[in-house]
Amino acid sequence: MKHYAETLYDSYGQEFRVDRLYFENKTDHQHLVIFENALFGRVMALDGVIQTTEADEFIYHEMLTHVPLLAHGNVKSVLIIGGGDGGILREVCKHTGVEEITQVEIDDQVVEMCKEYLPNHSAGAYDDPRVEIVIDDGANYVKNCDRQFDLIISDSTDPIGPAEVLFTEDFYGNCKSCLKPEGIMVTQNGVAYMQLDEVVNTALRFKPHFADRSFYSAAVPTYIGGIMTFAWGSDNPAARQQTLETIEERYQSAEIKTRYYNPAIHLASFALPQYIVEATQV
Amino acid sequence: MKRLTVKTIREAAPYQQLVAEHGSPLLVLDCDLLTQQYKKLSSALPGVELFYAIKSLPHPAAIDTLHQLGASFDIATSGEIELLREQRAEPRHTIHTHPIKRDRDIRDALRFGCTTFVIDNIYELEKFVDYRHRVGLLVRVSFPNPDSPVDLSRKFGCRPDEVEMLLQKANALGIHVKGLSFHAGSQCPDASNHVRAIEACGEIIHRYNEQSSRSMAILDIGGGFPVEYVGDTAEVDIDRFCAPIRAALATLPEHLHIIAEPGRYLSAPSMEAVSRVMGKARRGEQVWYYLDDGLYGSYSGQLFDHALYPLTVFSDHDEREAAVIAGPTCDSIDVIAEDVELPSLNIGDLVIGHQMGAYTSASATDFNLFERATIVAINRDTESDSATNLLHLAYR
């Protein structure tokens, strides 16, 4: 393999030079490729779609983790759905106040291969004593789960493939039952400019389950086509309306080091372009 | 081509060697011949991207050989996708051409990385609403060809006058139609139906691009490129066959990307069947020879594909007698050739079938649980062992 062409869109796409191929295999669930690229470092792709790169993963993982965690202010328990590369886990583990972290990943090969070839993603987080790893379908897990969490993070692939069930109303409803009353759920929701249907669908499917719903965003270079959106659902509207001072104070006391996230970005990320505002008024 | 050729016993030696090594029945795929066919068609259709229709011979060695030559691939099922995945074919160079698909077929193709699909009706179009940001569609148009032995226009394809309605509907649904496709037939006697279809599609594309803010940029001219079977009098000259197609394509706008889906033309001449006489009987005036391969196996194309394959037997004697060549199963329909004049064959003798790459093993069955012919690929690269290189399959 000399080049890796992403096949997310028919008439447009990004292509990487493969400077070194580390791994390519069809797992029981999906086609996994890990390779080296001069500009982005190690790159992981599933089913023809870029999932994460060493160079720009910090943006995605910091934003999907620290925004809800600091907005909530007192997260003790976290449920991660997907996230097999370990990046979300690493960021959650930075918060010393978090006591229990459960991660449910469907594809154990993704976990093993990422530990081996993308070790900086998890950075040892899989060995953290607070962490419990469950190899299971995330939708199945929340359906049968009798625990409740302060925060649920859905770090899934796109909705074609094993993650399809992680974009259904049933899944969101079951997640809601696994949330504490003040809890927050966030999900990766695709690049809105390219995949507006996904944003609209999530807005519709969150509606029956969460009193307060919104999206926030960040631009991740290898998720091509503009800003990536994250869906936000909670029954506590205050969580999304924290002041800069509050977030600043929590950020300071958390003593975490970040490269993209900061309190100003936190607040600004909820400002959405008009086309997303209109599309999500459902 | 004539039905039967008798060669000398000595000429059976390379086949004997293959059978000694691999057993019988065999299908011998000569990758050199496949390469030659690909190059001939490429030069007869310059500038046309060739998507090998892998249904005609879905074999890893065939895929690998064509992949290394830079061919693209035409797929129709998830099974074919898995074969391409194993051969490391680039998904960007594949198209999914089955006009009727289940949702999971679409998903499997998208997950592989194939984003081009074919539709020919409104129900099929609507299946793409959920995937509209990811796909580009071709509308398959039907041009009936009464001269083709296999009429591919009856089961699939919309009428030319239905295209506009489908395009309007697609635009309303936010689904991009990027071009048209057609199938002029299979084993076409000449290119007149191709030319007619190219002209008609060119006209539809021109009209649409003038009137619409969107553009169609692809014309898929399908397959139908002929090979020689028994009864075909003239030798196929693919360059001459394609001359009118080249002329018709030259009148189209330059930006139009032209693609084709050859299957049979590439695979048919690349494979020969090697079978052995496993029994004989004198019944009335005729001698019956029972081979270890037949209509339920490699010769299935005689039923499904309407093809009659040239046969070769080996003998040093001049006497001939009326004979029947039958397959091995218990069914009386399993007869390969009747009323042929054969030299006397012994049990264990070889019978060779030629032009047997396309729609042979692809449609073979397991009836009677008779084992299928083993496919042996030879000349996969120039360094392969000299024993198999002894065999040159070119019939003629």
At B33-59, the pLDDT tens digits run: 999 999 999 999 999 999 999 999 999
3-state SS, residue A58: helix
Whole-prediction pTM: 0.91
Mark whether B113 and B101 lie in a shared domain. yes
| Residue B2 placed within a domain | no
| Residue B150 placed within a domain | yes
Q: pLDDT at residue B201 above 70?
A: yes
Band of the pLDDT at B166, cuts 50, 70, 90?
very high
> Which residue in the block uniquely carries the two structure tokens 């609209």?
A200
> Which residue in the block uniquely carries the two structure tokens 């695709």?
A190
The answer to whether B113 contacts A1, with C-beta atoms less than 8 Å apart, is no
> Which residue in chain A is spatially nearest to B136 when comparing CA positions?
A10
> Which residue in chain A is spatially nearest to B114 when comparing CA positions?
A7
The answer to whether B115 contacts A30, with C-beta atoms less than 8 Å apart, is no
CB of A195 within 8 Å of a chain B CB? The answer is: yes
- pLDDT of B235 reads 85
The answer to whether B178 contacts A10, with C-beta atoms less than 8 Å apart, is yes
Mark whether B288 and B226 lie in a shared domain. no
Band of the pLDDT at A159, cuts 50, 70, 90?
confident
The residue annotated as part of the active site, out of A107, A137, A150, A155, is A155
> Across the interface, which of B85, B112, B133 has its CB nearest the CB of A9?
B133
CB of B103 within 8 Å of a chain A CB? The answer is: no
For residues B325-361, b (16+ Cβ closer than 10 Å) or e, as one string? bbbbbeeeebbbbeebebbebeeebbbbbbbbbbbbb
CATH number of residue B164's parent domain: 3.20.20.10
Mean pLDDT, rounded, for B5-14 = 97
Type and span of the H or E element at B195: helix B192-211
Which chain B residues contact residue A189 at CB under 8 A?
none
What are A171-196's pLDDT values in tens digits? 999 999 999 999 999 999 999 999 99
Mark whether B251 and B161 lie in a shared domain. yes
> Across the interface, which of A26, A31, A195 has its CB nearest the CB of B133?
A195
Q: In whole numbers, what is the pLDDT of chain A averaged over residues?
A: 96
CB of A25 within 8 Å of a chain B CB? The answer is: no
DSSP string, B117-176: EEE-SHHHHHTTGGGTTT-EEEEEE----TTSSB-TTTTS-B-GGGHHHHHHHHHHHT--
Least reliable range by pLDDT among A254-268, B223-237, B286-300: B223-237
- pLDDT of B152 reads 67
**What is the Cα–Cα distance from A43 to A20, expressed in whole angstroms?**
10
Sign of CA dihedral B149, B150, B155, B157: negative
Mark whether B184 and B308 lie in a shared domain. no
| Residue B278 placed within a domain | yes
The answer to whether A10 contacts B135, with C-beta atoms less than 8 Å apart, is yes
What are A95-146's pLDDT values in tens digits? 999 999 999 999 999 999 999 999 999 999 999 999 999 999 999 999 999 9
**Pick the residue with more confidence: B387 or B230?**
B230
| Residue B218 placed within a domain | yes
What are B98-150's pLDDT values in tens digits? 999 999 999 999 999 999 999 999 999 999 999 999 999 999 999 987 676 66
Mark whether B273 and B232 lie in a shared domain. no
- pLDDT of B150 reads 67
Kindly provide the ipTM of the predicted complex, given to two decimals: 0.89
| Residue B67 placed within a domain | yes
Mark whether B201 and B284 lie in a shared domain. no
- pLDDT of B232 reads 83
Mark whether B252 and B345 lie in a shared domain. no
Mark whether B293 and B351 lie in a shared domain. yes
Mark whether B194 and B279 lie in a shared domain. no
- pLDDT of B394 reads 43
Q: pLDDT at residue B31 above 90?
A: yes
| Residue B301 placed within a domain | yes
| Residue B1 placed within a domain | no
> Which residue in chain B is spatially nearest to A196 when comparing CA positions?
B133
Mark whether B115 and B233 lie in a shared domain. yes
- Listed residues B215, B248, B268: the one ending a domain: B268
Mean pLDDT, rounded, for B266-270 = 98
Rounded to a whole number of angstroms, the distance between the first and last alpha carbons of chain B is 9
Percent of chain B beyond pLDDT 90? Answer: 89
- Listed residues B217, B251, B268: the one ending a domain: B268
Q: CB count, 10 Å around CB of A237? A: 12
> Across the interface, which of A13, A160, A196 has its CB nearest the CB of B110?
A160
What are B172-194's pLDDT values in tens digits? 999 999 999 999 989 999 999 99
* Closest by Cα among A208, A204, A216, A209 to A281: A204
| Residue B182 placed within a domain | yes
Domain region containing B22: 7-28+269-393
What are B55-87's pLDDT values in tens digits? 999 999 999 999 999 999 999 999 999 999 999
The answer to whether A30 contacts B111, with C-beta atoms less than 8 Å apart, is yes
3-state SS, residue A40: coil
- pLDDT of B89 reads 93
The answer to whether A10 contacts B92, with C-beta atoms less than 8 Å apart, is no
Percent of chain A beyond pLDDT 70? Answer: 100
CB of B102 within 8 Å of a chain A CB? The answer is: no
Nearest-Å Rg of the Cα atoms of chain A is 18
The answer to whether B136 contacts A195, with C-beta atoms less than 8 Å apart, is no
- Listed residues B223, B253, B268: the one ending a domain: B268
| A158 a catalytic residue | no
Mean pLDDT, rounded, for B327-336 = 96
3-state SS, residue A226: coil
CATH number of residue B332's parent domain: 2.40.37.10
**Pick the residue with more confidence: B391 or B222?**
B222
- pLDDT of B149 reads 67
Mark whether B178 and B49 lie in a shared domain. yes
What's the total number of domains in chain B? 2
Which chain B residues contact residue A225 at CB under 8 A?
none
What are A229-268's pLDDT values in tens digits? 999 999 999 999 999 999 999 999 999 999 999 999 999 9
Mark whether B300 and B341 lie in a shared domain. yes
Rounded to a whole number of angstroms, the distance between the first and last alpha carbons of chain A is 44
